[in-house]
Chains A and B, each alone.
Chain A
């Protein structure tokens, strides 16, 4: 091959392969798939936009202060609100947190620091993941079998127990990973100064891991606040206030926002359906605020 022929050959290859030819089969396939994945991503965003739009339009129309201070209406009654359901949701999520957070954080301390590789920890991690995957309605069945059948009444504590079982795995798993990411140097420095293991945990690990632990706790709270299935037949529903003259009457059926939405959505009355939309809006705003707060705390850590 003469030098001239090599040059022309190289020139030809350069001009054909370095130019963009969008309709060549390989490039076309690439382009179509890219368009397809864009379409899929935009389609996946449609439900969110639609849900939020309906919430604002149908729920927002009914939004007023009376919603927060009045009791749910009966059959053909007009007006009304869901003040007692908001109180009920807060009380039951609070009870769930009171039970699950201390147990969860203690267990996470053991899993992350005291015996991370022990047999006990490995079994517990597996058990926790199993609990994460357990359908939420089954935590309700559990609380029904253990609390409702024992005490003989639907009640706020029964709902709280069901929510606690639901929150526990989230708290444990996030707290464990938050404690684990504390740098080893920090730990070693504390041990080097002669701290006992508990002192290291209380004075170094927990304060350092606190943002991560809080993020997990708030995610668990947000999830629990929106859960309906565990409350359906543990707390049931009520059209009365949980507090009677400032005295809590816990051992009786208790209202919650989620169960109110479910009950009212199925009613043939326009007033109740409007209230279900307004309650959904309030619930979603509550859940989103907790979510945003948890993300904010998580970001400050990084």
Chain B
């Protein structure tokens, strides 16, 4: 009698019983749903490319390659060209990468090479994370009311003394390339710092100990052993930071001055592809929308290529480590 009771209890607890047909059904359908989730992501990426490409098609047909090398953007005369925007995008991103990359890698070395007691290191790590957390529109506002006024006297001085150098060929009359790139550099820094930190941490500890054992100073170990060992990962970090800078919109739309000119001067206003989209889309007529879609496609192509190169480098660097 007692064993019979026990058996019925065990059957009731579904775990030891074979799965019921309902369990099979639930299992099948849930797995199908999970697979559907994966397909949604793939279809979404395809759909994004298709919808932007499809809308850009008419603009591509009408303006062709000339769109990429023409410098006028005149809605009234229906003339469109994005060479100044491509130039501005690349120039501002390179400047930002030079500054942000330097500070980002320095920060990564600072945080990984035992310069700090753990608690203080945590403080600096939080600072980098907070830099990444602040929305770009807030950086734009800060740039307008702090960086631009603070930079103006220095820019005027540089223009007076060194105006013959093309980089200082104009004065800073308000927004311009230098404040925009500086704010952009602040936004690139966390990306570069985070990815380079991972790269430096992945260098086996023994490698550094071997260097110390041979009598190197701390910086000889860093410059001659750690950085070369992590160089692929750090290079990947710089490429990813560059990709981030290319697509950044709001801070640039607020700070770069939106003037369609090609100039080497750090203090003259310029324009970027993302800023062009942000400023012109809200009030664009049907014709301009087609052309803006074409510009969006160009931006998408540039960022996709840069990011894919970055990801490929990161994959390469982690694969090499496995050996």
Contacts and interface: CB of A to CB of B under 8 A. Distances in A.
Interface of A: 26-27, 29-30, 33-34, 36-38, 40-41, 43-45, 47-48, 50-51, 54-55, 58, 102-111, 114-115, 120-121, 123-124, 126-131, 133-142, 144-146, 149, 165, 168, 172, 193-199, 201-202, 222, 225-229, 232-233, 236, 258, 261-262, 265-266, 273, 276-277, 280, 283-284, 287-288, 291
B300 interface: yes
Nearest to A120: B38
Interface stretch (B75-83, B157-165, B241-249, B259-267): B241-249
Interface in B81-97: none
A54 B146 contact: yes
Interface in B157-199: 186, 189
Tell me if A's interface is mostly helix, strand, loop or mixed.
Answer: helix
A133 B139 contact: no
Given A107-B37, A232-B282, A261-B137, A47 B106 contact: no
* Nearest 8 Cβ contacts at the A-B interface: A135-B247, A226-B135, A106-B37, A133-B307, A107-B37, A40-B106, A229-B249, A233-B281
B136 A228 contact: yes
Contact of A121 (B38, B115, B253): B38
Contacts of B33: 106
B124 interface: yes
Interface stretch (B20-28, B65-73, B204-212, B228-236): B20-28
29 contacts: A26-B220, A30-B217, A30-B218, A30-B220, A37-B106, A38-B110, A41-B106, A44-B131, A50-B142, A103-B40, A114-B31, A127-B45, A129-B311, A130-B304, A130-B307, A137-B247, A137-B296, A142-B48, A146-B47, A165-B44, A227-B135, A229-B274, A232-B281, A236-B282, A261-B137, A280-B137, A280-B138, A284-B134, A288-B133
Tell me if B's interface is mostly helix, strand, loop or mixed.
Answer: helix
Given A29-B219, A41-B124, A138-B296, A283 B281 contact: no
Nearest to B144: A265
A196 B138 contact: no
A131 B134 contact: no
B18 interface: yes
B274 A123 contact: no
Contact of A127 (B42, B115, B128, B300): B42
Nearest to A280: B138
A55 B278 contact: no
A105 to B, nearest CB: 8
Contact of B146 (A41, A50, A196): A50
Contacts of B44: 131, 165, 168
Chain B contact patch, size range = 35 or more
A276 B142 CA distance: 11
Interface string B106-117: 110110000100
B243 A133 contact: yes
Given A47-B131, A131-B45, A229-B249, A262 B138 contact: no
A34 B10 CA distance: 68
Nearest to B150: A50
A111 B38 contact: yes
B135 A228 contact: yes
B103 A43 contact: yes
B45 A130 contact: yes
B238 interface: no
A70 to B, nearest CB: 21
Nearest to B113: A37
Interface string B292-312: 110010011001101110110
B37 A110 contact: yes
B277 interface: yes
Given A145-B55, A165-B44, A265 B218 contact: no
Given A172-B41, A197-B27, A198-B30, A276 B135 contact: no
Contact of B135 (A145, A172, A287): A287
Among B135, B146, B246, B247, the most chain A Cβ lie within 10 Å of the Cβ of B135
